[in-house]
Structure 1
Amino acid sequence: MTGAATAAVELPFAALSGLALLPVLAWPRGRHAVLRTVFAGARRLAELERARIRIWLGYPVAPAYEDARALRYVSVRWALGVLGAIVMLSVVFGVAYGTFWTYGWLLVDVTHPGSVAIGTLGGLFLLFLAVQGIFGVAELERQLAQRILGPSHQDELERRIVELAESRAAVVDAVHDERRRIERDLHDGVQQRLVALGMLLGRALRSREAEHVDRLLRQAHDESRQALGELRDVAWRIYPTALDEAGLSAALETVAERSSVPVLVECDLEEEPDKTAATVAYFVVCEAVTNAVKHAAPSRIVVRVGTEDGFLYVCVQDDGCGGADPKGSGLFGLARRVAALDGLLNVISPPGGPTLVTAELPCG
């Protein structure tokens, strides 16, 4: 109905615009002056249509289109509005004839009940066709807006090239950040443990007292165990072997087992996703759980992973204090890693909690 109403404005506008342009087609300066006014009106009408399509059809149309395309759209769109008006009139007639048997007896003297029955069936059939026509007009509205107001194939290719260049640069930065983190973990953790271990063994070699030597060897043994544990942690954060050996579900179970906070893992995988998507999903869960334990002080974390329609969905929710910064180094690195797969990462963390981290990864 709103489309029919806007068509009542667009049709006279298109006709008047054509009539105004006819006398000045051979006069460049006059043509430009008229076109400025016509383009301004077409832009307003196109914006009105864009808002209508977004509200009623749920289809967003980007405002980045030229004035000439707006004029082309308005000059064509009115025909769909007229078609929509015809469909709505068909709905009215279908309802009127389809329900005639309920009120027709009060208006006319019915002498042929069979005719009333046939008319009712015809009205219901017309109503059925008109309802299908409503969906058809809505789809035509969407396709027309996408065809004329939407980005061209060249624009899509240029946008895609820019996205690929940005994602490639982001992946390179993420690799460098990961290398720096690994170097920092090895330097501040494992290397310090090994230095302490060497010092303890050196003192044990120089000592002459058996009791002192035994105490130093016990300390060295403890240091070696801690160094081995930290080295395993570093290797586990680089890449979990369980991901290759047992799949994504088992790898996420290891994240839950290593967490100091209870973590509930719910996996609903129709089939095992490809390794690239599974690896990114694993690191999303790992980083989200680590951030929650370190900063939010939660009492419980829930991890949900599932596949549907060629996408891998990840959801990590905690009941902590919230306030997570999506631009922080950890979450920002995850966003770049997800974007490299053409995925989406969303972080909702109001002050006071809860925090919800979701990722949508193509895995088909």
Structure 2
Amino acid sequence: MRNLVRVRRTAAALAYLASGVVAGPVGLLWSVASTVAVLVLAITQLGGPAFLGAAWVTRGLARLERHRAGWVLGRPIDPPYVAAGGDTLRRRVAAVGSQPATWRDLAWLVLLFPFGVGLGVAGIVTAAVCAGVLTAPAWAWAVPNPRAPFPVKPLMTTTPGRFGLTLLGLLLVPLAVWIVRRLAALEVAVARALLAPGEHRRLVEETERLARTRARVVDAQAAELRRIERDLHDGAQARIVGAGITLALAARKIRAGGAAADDVETARRQLDEALAELRRLVRGIHPPILTDRGLHAALAALAADSPLTVAVRGDAGLRFPAAVESAAYFVAAEGLANAAKHSGAGACAIELRGTESRVSITVEDDGRGGADPAGAGLDGLRRRVEALDGTLTVSSPPGGPTLLKAEFPCAS
């Protein structure tokens, strides 16, 4: 199997080099012709359409080059382009022309001529010489050369000499394979340097990702504010209003000379419930234990309150930025809540790991699995994690276990 893979890779490398002999002249001819045509038409109204058309064809040829390089790399080179919008011809031309990938494609088509032809001829000659020496007994007899110098004459004109060439060819096969693959690797390296996504696309994608994350964070904050308002209105506020009404009734009874002890006791109970509701609300925003004792202690408190058997692992002395600790806490809280409500789990493990640059928290349960990574709760967690430039991974195959892992960059 390993030898078959080597044969395939060598054949792919040789095919890449051989096709470069054709692709090189085509790329150079198109580069020269398109450049001259665009420069000539630039002073006319056809300059913009000519540039866009030439860029479209150039990108098509570059796309073929990326797929051709995939013969050697195992997969095509990723395209480097970003969306080029614009509601007018001038803006579309500016959007296409401002992308470095446009000019890198053209540069590769120009360089493809010396690289494709030079390295392609070298690879073909290497393979042809090796194949010719290997098959010497089949053709050397037809090439009479009585005046050939020693040792060519005995090798070419005698049967033992021809089979000696075959033996020599067998010895040269590893060297020929190495040369062909190194030549192909050199050409592919230059192609990848010019045709692969560069810094421009990375910055554009990073900007788009940050814009999406910002929008998701704003939505998450708005949803959180609505939740807090709803909890205050339906919970603590309703209980406080009820306590106020009860105290008003008690005051009226006292003025009438009646007993109001039961009403005062009811009002006290309502105020205690309102206070407990406010404490739960505060813990839902930012648990005070995070500030006072750190993330490990907060996780231990979560584990103690959970109906499951929860093991917490990690260094109790680790401290992280407040935002990271808060997000990690809520990842663990959501994981435990889901495990207790939906998975049928009996035990759960929380593992906290931290370095100077990364913080990770993992929540794993022994439940039946099947959690939906796109569910509302996990999607809200993902927004919270991505707001800190972190990643959230959910693995929950049917039958379990469910694994929830969040990673955050950490500068402290």
The answer to whether the superposition gives a TM-score over 0.5 is yes
CA shift for structure 1 position 142: 10
Q: 1:190 and 2:236 equivalent? A: yes
Q: Which of residues 215, 239, 242 is equivalent to 2:289?
A: 242
Equivalent residue letter for 1:260: P
Provide the secondary structure at the position in 2 that maps to 1:227.
helix
Shift in CA distance, 140/264, structure 1 to aligned 2, threshold 3 Å: farther
What amino acid is the match of 2:384? Answer: R
Kindly tell me: are residues 270 and 189 of structure 1, through their superposed partners in 2, closer, same or farther at Cα, counting changes over 3 Å?
closer
Distance between the aligned counterparts of 2:222 and 2:63, measured in 1? Answer: 50
Q: Does structure 1 residue 201 correspond to structure 2 residue 243?
A: no
Aligned residues of 2:62 and 2:109 also touching (Cα < 8 A)? yes
For the residue of structure 2 that corresponds to 1:316, the secondary structure is strand
1:336 has 2:352 as partner:
no
Give the structure 2 partner of residue 266 of structure 1: 313
Superposed CA offset, 1:241-298 (max 9, x none): 2222221111212222333333221124784222232222112112222333343343
CA distance in 1, matches of 2:201, 2:389: 18
Contact 2:303–2:312 (8 Å) recurs in 1: yes
Flag the 1:294–1:24 CA change in 2: closer, same or farther, 3 A: closer
2:13 corresponds, among 3, 7, 12, to 7
Please give the alpha-carbon distance, in whole angstroms, between the structure 1 residues aligned to 2:226 and 2:376: 13
Cα distance change of structure 1 residues 10 and 222 upon mapping to structure 2, 3 Å threshold: same
Within the candidate set 349, 352, 358, 1:302 is matched to: 349
Residue matched to 2:74: 51
* Aligned counterpart in structure 1 of residue 78 of structure 2, from 62, 76, 94: 62
Letter in 2 for 1:48: W
Q: Write the distance in 1 (CA, Å) between the matches of 2:112 and 2:201.
A: 22
Q: Which amino acid aligns with 1:274?
A: P
State whether residues 313 and 351 of structure 2, in contact with CA within 8 Å, keep that contact through their aligned partners in structure 1.
yes
Question: Structure 2: how far apart are the matches of 1:285 and 1:193?
Answer: 30
CA RMSD of aligned residues (A): 4.2
Larger Rg: 2
CA contact (8 A) 1:269 1:305 kept: no
1:361 has 2:408 as partner: yes
The alpha-carbon deviation at position 359 of structure 1 amounts to 0.8
CA contact (8 A) 2:79 2:197 kept: no
Using the alignment, how far apart are the partners of 2:331 and 2:374 within structure 1?
Answer: 15
- 1:171 counterpart (189, 204, 217): 217
SS in structure 1 of the partner of residue 350 of structure 2:
strand
Q: In structure 2, do the counterparts of structure 1 residues 25 and 340 end up closer, same or farther at CA, with 3 Å as the change threshold?
A: closer
Q: Label 1:166 to 1:294 Cα distance change in 2 as closer, same or farther (>3 A).
A: same
List runs of 5+ in structure 2 lacking aligned partners.
Answer: 1-5, 38-53, 82-100, 127-181
- C-alpha distance 37-277 of structure 1, shift in aligned 2 (>3 A): closer
Matched ranges for 1:67-86 at <5 A: 68=105
Residue 255 (1) aligns with residue 306 (2): no
Q: State whether residues 390 and 408 of structure 2, in contact with CA within 8 Å, keep that contact through their aligned partners in structure 1.
A: yes
- For the 8 Å contact 2:66–2:78, the answer to whether it is kept is no
**C-alpha spacing 1:214/1:26, structure 2 compared with 1 (3 Å):** closer
Mapping 1:90-101, distance limit 5 Å = none
From the superposition, tell whether residues 263 and 222 of structure 1 become closer, same or farther in structure 2 (CA, over 3 Å): farther
Contact kept? 2:27, 2:109, Cα under 8 Å: no
1:17 aligns with 2:23: yes
Counterparts in 2 of 1:191 and 1:144: CA distance versus 1, 3 Å: farther
Percent identity of the aligned residues? Answer: 36
TM superposition shift of 1:216: 2.8
Matched, 1:286 2:292: no
Aligned 8 A contact 1:17 1:38 in 2: no
1:317-332 aligned at under 5 Å gives the runs: 317-332=364-379
CA shift for structure 1 position 63: 4.8
Alignment match, 1:346? 393
Alignment of 1:109-120 (within 5 A): none
SS in 2 for 1:298: coil
Q: Does 1:311 align with 2:355?
A: no
State which of 201, 215, 219 in structure 1 corresponds to 2:266: 219
Amino acid in the other structure paired with 2:74: A
Output the CA distance in 2 between the equivalents of 1:74 and 1:274: 51
